[in-house]
Amino acid sequence: MSDKAIHARIYRFGPSIESEPAYQSYDVPFEEGMSAMDVLD
pLDDT of residue 23: 96
Number of domains in the chain: 1
pLDDT of residue 3: 86
Residue 15 makes CB contacts below 8 A (sequence gap 6+) with none
pLDDT of residue 2: 64
Q: How many CB atoms lie within 10 A of CB 24?
A: 9
DSSP state letters, 1-41: --S-EEEEEEEE--TTT-SS-EEEEEEEE--TT--HHHHH-
Residue numbers of the domain that contains 7: 1-30
In-domain check, residue 39: no
pLDDT of residue 32: 93
Tens digit of each residue's pLDDT, the chain (41 residues): 568 999 999 999 999 998 999 999 999 999 999 999 999 99
Q: By C-alpha distance, which of 17, 19, 37 is closest to 28?
A: 37
In-domain check, residue 35: no
